[in-house]
């Protein structure tokens, strides 16, 4: 009798062996077979959570694309049959390269951040804060791809909600399809029927795979779902956009391996109380990571901004103190923006230091330089710095504009409206050289500025015979004060 139940017992034992438990770090996705107090990868404490992993199913069986047919002008990375080619060791001289035909989006800013267009077979991760406009931007981009069959997969919103947003965007596309589903196995069944040419997933944190037993949004689910879409993109040569979330500290939610799995990582950022947004490239295997796109949020969707300098500079009818124009660089794009400063007598015991769009520690450094090298008494003054337009700027070349705005407010004398600044300030009060000075000078000249103040160490970085704008090279902060405020 015991022998009869031996096969059943062995089957039960075999099925139980297929289920595995592991602990994952919520911060970086590090996997451990047991609970750890401190993550050995990122160093954070008490971040490990237990998840149940099902390893019995074969993930490749759930996403077999042997019958998936691509257009003739888009050959599959593994051949038109979808079957993997035999691999062998080759030298670099034996590899034949060809220029990949990219899909040109109607949005020039998306083409810019992707390095010249959408690469077939690429997988792109787009992350940003809730409500910043990620879904609106890529719904609009999908609707504008009128020559391609686009599938938009939503796990967060209903069909009616997406229809209302699409009606507000006012873009029409007869080849735009919508699917509201969260289980990847069901999603791929519909994909086999439709055979889309562009795929948009909103969002990767809402999806779940039957291969994994953990809940949607967990580290193992995000990793498995992203791996399934990665296999789909590479085997069918179909571009895939994954919209993701970020954590409260600003990093992309999910395991760190998620950013390594994808080809391109885009960060959509900006202050939701302002109209302007920045689409920044953090990683790109097909182009430069120094590109960014600038948008303006309107009632009809995201409007690409081709010349942001004109809208970031306040059009004032009268000259006011505490305002200076900085010739900055955002990625590869020159950008002129307005730095506003307010210096007032402190009415409380401790002076305030408040910034918006600028680094507070950088402001304290510049104030210390002005006190030590220039003799200006900011110790009993309240100081406020604001970058107009809601932008957050990390370029050190705006130091000179911040110094000029502070001195203008301190002396209560307005700066000439036709002058701008580009220079970094060191601890000794020296004005240091900045990169791409020629592009900054050309942008200032194009917008009608008559004079730009730069570092004297930048003399070799641009043509001295620039027409239409006067280039003034200075070496010390004291020289800046003498030039602007001494009668």
134 known ligand binder = yes
The rounded distance, in Å, linking the Cα atoms of 202 and 399 is: 40
133 known ligand binder = yes
Handedness of CA 417, 420, 426, 431 (dihedral sign): negative
132 known ligand binder = yes
The rounded distance, in Å, linking the Cα atoms of 211 and 451 is: 64
Tens digit of each residue's pLDDT, the chain (487 residues)? 444 444 443 433 444 445 677 888 877 778 888 899 999 988 889 888 887 765 555 554 445 555 565 544 444 444 333 444 567 899 988 888 777 789 999 999 999 999 999 999 999 999 998 888 999 999 999 999 989 999 999 999 999 999 999 998 877 888 999 999 999 999 999 999 999 999 999 989 999 998 887 888 888 889 899 999 999 999 999 999 999 988 877 788 877 889 999 999 999 988 777 778 889 999 999 988 888 888 988 888 899 988 888 777 766 657 889 999 999 998 788 889 999 999 999 887 789 999 999 999 999 999 999 999 888 989 889 999 999 877 888 899 999 999 999 999 999 999 998 999 999 999 999 999 999 898 999 889 988 899 999 999 987 766 656 668 899 999 999 999 999 987 6
115 known ligand binder = no
217 known ligand binder = no
The values of phi and psi at residue 140, to 5°, are -65, -45
For 211-234, b where at least 16 C-beta lie within 10 A, e where not — what string? Answer: bbbbebbbbbbbbbbbbbbbbbbb
Ramachandran area for residue 429 (φ above 0: left; ψ -120 to 50: alpha; else beta): left
- Residue with tokens 């199913």, as numbered in its chain: 57
For 78-91, b where at least 16 C-beta lie within 10 A, e where not — what string? Answer: beeebeeeeeeeee
Q: What is the pLDDT of residue 317?
A: 58
Which CATH number does the domain 312-485 belong to among 1.10.10.10, 3.30.230.10, 3.30.460.10, 3.30.2080.10?
Answer: 3.30.230.10
Q: What is the pLDDT of residue 7?
A: 46
Give CA separation, 410 vs 132, 305, 378, 383, 416, in Å: 37, 34, 9, 10, 16
Question: Would you state the structure tokens that stand for residue 381, as one six-digit string?
Answer: 């003054």
135 known ligand binder = yes
Q: Are 451 and 475 in contact (CB under 8 A)?
A: no
- Greatest extent of the chain over all pairs of C-alpha atoms, in Å: 110
Q: Is 196 exposed, middle or buried (0-12, 13-18, 19+ CB in 10 A)?
A: buried
Return the CATH architecture of domain 103-306: 3-Layer(aba) Sandwich (3.40)
64 known ligand binder = no
For 339-373, b where at least 16 C-beta lie within 10 A, e where not — what string? Answer: bbbbbeeeeeeebebebebbeeebbeebbebbeeb
130 known ligand binder = yes
Q: Are 134 and 142 in contact (CB under 8 A)?
A: no
Q: What is the pLDDT of residue 200?
A: 97
Q: Are 406 and 341 in contact (CB under 8 A)?
A: yes
The rounded distance, in Å, linking the Cα atoms of 206 and 81 is: 32
Q: What is the pLDDT of residue 85?
A: 52
- Residue 52 bridge partners (DSSP): 21
The rounded distance, in Å, linking the Cα atoms of 184 and 228 is: 8
């Amino acid at each position: 009798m015991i022998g009869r139940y031996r096969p059943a017992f062995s089957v039960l034992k075999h099925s139980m062996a297929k289920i595995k438990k592991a602990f994952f770090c919520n911060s970086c996705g590090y996997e451990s077979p047991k609970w750890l107090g401190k993550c050995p990868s990122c160093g954070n404490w008490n971040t490990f959570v237990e998840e149940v992993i099902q390893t019995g199913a074969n993930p490749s069986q759930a996403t077999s694309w042997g019958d998936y047919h691509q257009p003739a002008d888009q050959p599959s990375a593994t051949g038109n049959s979808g079957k993997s080619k035999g691999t062998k060791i080759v030298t670099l001289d034996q590899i034949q390269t060809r220029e990949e035909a990219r899909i040109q989006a109607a949005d020039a800013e998306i083409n810019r951040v992707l390095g010249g267009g959408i690469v077939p077979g690429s997988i792109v991760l787009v992350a940003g804060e809730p409500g910043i406009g990620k879904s609106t931007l890529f719904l609009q981009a999908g609707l504008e791809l009128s020559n391609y069959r686009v599938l938009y997969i939503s796990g967060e919103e209903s069909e009616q909600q997406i229809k209302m947003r699409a009606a507000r965007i006012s873009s029409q596309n007869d080849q735009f399809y919508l699917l509201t589903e969260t289980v990847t196995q069901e999603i791929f069944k519909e994909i086999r029927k439709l055979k889309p040419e562009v795929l948009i997933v909103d969002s990767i944190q809402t999806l779940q795979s039957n291969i994994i037993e953990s809940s949607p949004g967990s580290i193992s689910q995000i990793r498995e779902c992203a791996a399934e879409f990665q296999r789909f993109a590479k085997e069918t040569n179909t571009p895939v956009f994954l919209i993701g979330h970020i954590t409260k500290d600003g990093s992309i939610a999910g395991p760190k391996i998620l950013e390594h799995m994808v080809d391109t990582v885009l960060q959509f950022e900006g202050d939701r109380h302002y109209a302007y947004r920045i689409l920044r490239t953090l990683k790109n295997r097909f182009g430069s990571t120094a590109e960014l796109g600038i948008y303006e949020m309107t009632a009809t969707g995201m409007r690409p901004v081709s010349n942001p300098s004109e809208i970031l500079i306040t059009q004032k009818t009268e000259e006011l103190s505490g305002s200076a124009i900085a010739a900055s660089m955002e990625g590869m794009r020159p950008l002129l923006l307005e730095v506003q400063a307010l210096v007032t007598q402190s009415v409380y015991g401790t002076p305030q230091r408040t910034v918006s769009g600028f680094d507070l520690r950088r402001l304290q450094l510049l104030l210390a330089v002005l006190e030590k090298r220039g003799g200006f008494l900011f110790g009993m003054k309240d100081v406020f710095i604001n970058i107009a337009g809601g932008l957050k700027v990390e370029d050190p070349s705006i130091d000179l504009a911040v110094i000029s705005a502070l001195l203008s407010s301190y002396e209560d004398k307005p700066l000439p409206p036709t002058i701008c600044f580009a220079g970094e300030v060191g601890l000794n009060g020296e004005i240091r050289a900045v990169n791409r000075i020629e592009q900054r000078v050309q942008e200032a000249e194009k917008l009608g500025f008559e004079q730009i103040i730069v570092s004297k160490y930048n003399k070799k970085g641009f043509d001295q015979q620039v027409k239409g704008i006067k280039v003034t090279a200075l070496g010390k902060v004291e020289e800046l004060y003498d030039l602007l405020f001494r009668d």
